[in-house]
Every structure is written in structure tokens, then in C-alpha cells.
Structure 1
């Protein structure tokens, strides 16, 4: 081995990076920094459970449905418990809303932040060993600290997010997040138990060559979506669809592309949830130079009216999203 390669530096840890960047937070009290650490820690625990899922009988459905009417997987429930417990013990969060819970989970009236989370996105892919993820949004509460949590604290527009991110559990585990000052990705090194900065200042190409959509539902797509899909084919774009939102989003973020989950005959308002899926990814993609839309409206401008609100979702490279929107116009 060449001398120049011996004891190469392994990079900046997540904890050190958060401390270094803390002054960029609008309210630099250290609480938001701790929230990000709490989420990162819970992600390590969930990553461990996922990696041994096939060995300890925690794959498959648990036999119940969540508020969405979807069959809950065993790891859905486990991940929800892990993240909620970590946020509760941290003390900075006053409430959590989750895909797996019907109502607001009230944690601590003294907390200053509200967390919206999809604890395990794409969990039906666990049984076939396909990449899955966690998506989270962080909002600053509106009502005074110490008072009971109110719906106004939770139902905020995506533009009010102070941080958002996702964890991707794949060939390697990554944490990608933004606090409104660009997007950075950290890869988990399991032997050291640390996340290291591996993808600084992430940006998405303005024009991509990938479109990600479930074409099995093509016949029930709105006409503008059908026309855009045909445009993609005529333009020689590649179809890539994993079926795990985080995985599809992450690939397109790195390589350029568009992810689409439109309204269909079955899901007239779309299927993806505004509060704990679309808002977070919209914040990230805009910080990376891309766009997120319903096809007719910017995602981050939507005024939410319920916890589990669904919306159509077009997210990715700027030119591709604008082109998709043009078919609606």
C-alpha cells in the first residue's frame, strides 16, 4: 500500500457537522441540533432491526391496518415505536404525527418542535430485501411553550419547515437532510457507529433522463399525465420504478429525473401524504435545485386541512417537473 493511502482521514461526522452549522439555524438554541441527533440515533436502531429482520421473525404483516387502510408490517410498528420513543426521551419535540398513528401523539408541552414522520416508507418491500426509508419534517410550534399542543401547531404549510430529511436503508444506510441551507448526505459506518459526510452540497441536475411512475395504473391516469409519460418515451427517457418512495427519490436526486404519483381513478386525490412524505421531499428537492408540484400547485404552498391529507406528487429535476406541469396548462 502506498504511504499516501495509509491512515487516510474518514471525514466529518454528523455530530461535528451539526455543531459546526448550528448558527445557521433560525433559532440557534441547540434544540434543533439535538432533534436531528435523536432522529439519527433512532435511525441506527431501525437500521439494525432491518438488517436482521429475516433472522428474528419481524418481517411480514402484523394483521392490523393503519389509519390509511393499509396493512401494517411488523417493521412499520417497530420503527414507529423507535422514533417516537427517541423523540419523547429527547424532550425537544412537543408532538409527533405519523403515518402509523390516527391522531397527534402529544409528547411534551415544553417542547418547541413538531415532528411529522413516515417511520418506514416502502415497508412492503422488506420481505423481498429492497431498499426502504424513513421520511421526516420538523416544524417550530406556533402556540406558547408550556401550553397544550393545538392543531395549528401541526397543520402548517411545508414552507414553514425548519428542517426535513430522510434515511435510506439500502446497500449502505444514508441520512440526507436540509435546514434550508442546502442539502447534505451522510453515510452510516456501522463498525464505528457514526454517520460521515459523504455527499456535501447535493444538487439535482436541471434536466434528467429518468421517469419514475407506476405504469401499471396508466389507464386510470389523468390525460395530462398520460401525455407526459408518452413525452418521456418519445424523448428516450428511461423508466425506473422501485416502489419505495425514498429509494426512487434518492436515485433521481443524484442522477436527475422525475418521480410521479398522480391522482388515479382509485385515489382521486393522489395517494402520498402531504404532511409526512411530500412536504419533506419537496423542501429537500427545492434546496437541491429541483421542483415539487401537484401538477398545478407548488407543494410547499399547500394549506393542509387534515393530518393524513393526500396529494398528487411530481418531484425532481426542474425542467422535467415544469414540462409535466405544462401538460396540465
Structure 2
């Protein structure tokens, strides 16, 4: 018998009779979050940490991950047929995706909320570094015990 933990997001939203247009948009938001989680895990390995050299609508320095997250959310959520416009704190203008119809939705989003890039760490799988030392850990918060190849939690 399926439990609440076994149910898909799609089935969960449908079972609660959530408006189909909204349910579809929520599924696209979830898909965007999954894509960004993968990017965050590998950000340090793909040189995606640091400043982008641009500013957002609140005149804050944009990070490379801010710009990437905005693109991922905008492109993924634009696939939802009911989304008429996308508004992000990362860009000045509303992205009108189509002429709005009755029942269409507008998504207002801050696609990536975090305190600083210094708090975003790579989340590598367990493995071995180029110099042969073992590494593992969550968010890259792993060091090495002096004189050993065993990781030490920080």
C-alpha cells in the first residue's frame, strides 16, 4: 500500500484538487529546484562560485549562481502553459511569455536565496582526490586529519 511518502508531487497535487494550472507550475518550480540542487553540488567544480559583475533590481551584487538560477527557473517554468509572465529579483523587466488569458499565472521569484557564496560548498560524492587522499562530505565541509587520508569533519 502506498504511503504519503510514496506519492509523487503530481499525484499529491491532483489528490488535493489543486487547480491544474497551478499544479503544473508547482511541478515546474520543483523541477527547477532539482536542477539547481545539481548545479549547487558541482558549483565549485564548474567555476560557478563568485560574483557575476552585475547588480540585481535591489542593487545587490549578483553572484554567478544567482544568474544561473534565474535562467534555470525562467526557462524551466516557461514550459508551464499557464505561465504568462516571470518576474525575478535578478532582472529589471517582467518576462512576458505570452499574452495573458483568464486563469493564467504570473510567477514572482527570488530563484536562489542564500547568505553568501562562502556558505555554498560543493557536495561531492565520496571519492579520491588527485593526490590520492580520500574525500567525502556534505557541502564540502571536510578536511583531512593530519598525516592521514581520512577525512575529518569541520
What TM-score does the superposition give when structure 2 sets the normalisation length? Answer: 0.69
1:11 aligned onto 2:30: no
Deviation of 1:128 after TM superposition, in Å, equals: 2.7
Deviation of 1:127 after TM superposition, in Å, equals: 2.6
Aligned length: 119
Q: What residue is the counterpart of 1:125 in the other structure?
A: 116
Selected match of 1:81 from 71, 79, 95: 71
Question: Aligned equivalents of 1:102 and 1:115: distance in 2?
Answer: 15
Determine which structure has the larger strand proportion and give its number.
1
**In 2, are the aligned partners of 1:88 and 1:108 still within 8 Å (CA)?**
no
Question: Aligned equivalents of 2:50 and 2:68: distance in 1?
Answer: 12
Task: From the superposition, tell whether residues 51 and 102 of structure 1 become closer, same or farther in structure 2 (CA, over 3 Å).
Answer: same
Q: What runs of 5+ residues in structure 1 fail to find an aligned partner?
A: 1-7, 131-170, 172-329
Q: What residue is the counterpart of 1:115 in the other structure?
A: 107
**In 2, are the aligned partners of 1:91 and 1:108 still within 8 Å (CA)?**
no
Question: Aligned equivalents of 1:62 and 1:84: distance in 2?
Answer: 18
Aligned ranges 1:58-77 → 2 under 5 Å: 58-77=48-67
3-state SS of the aligned residue for 1:91? Answer: coil
**In 2, are the aligned partners of 1:61 and 1:72 still within 8 Å (CA)?**
yes
Bigger relative contact order, structure 1 or 2 (CA pairs below 8 A, ≥6 apart): 2
Query: Which consecutive aligned stretches of 4+ in structure 1 deviate over 2 angstroms post-superposition?
Result: 8-13, 124-130
Deviation of 1:36 after TM superposition, in Å, equals: 0.6
Question: Aligned equivalents of 2:120 and 2:87: distance in 1?
Answer: 27
What TM-score does the superposition give when structure 1 sets the normalisation length? Answer: 0.34
1:31 aligned onto 2:21: yes
3-state SS of the aligned residue for 2:58? Answer: coil
Task: From the superposition, tell whether residues 67 and 110 of structure 1 become closer, same or farther in structure 2 (CA, over 3 Å).
Answer: closer
Q: What residue is the counterpart of 2:34 in the other structure?
A: 44
**In 2, are the aligned partners of 1:99 and 1:118 still within 8 Å (CA)?**
yes
* 1:195-237 Cα distance to aligned partner (Å, 9 max, x none): xxxxxxxxxxxxxxxxxxxxxxxxxxxxxxxxxxxxxxxxxxx
Q: What residue is the counterpart of 1:201 in the other structure?
A: none
Q: What runs of 5+ residues in structure 2 fail to find an aligned partner?
A: 122-137, 139-154
3-state SS of the aligned residue for 2:111? Answer: strand
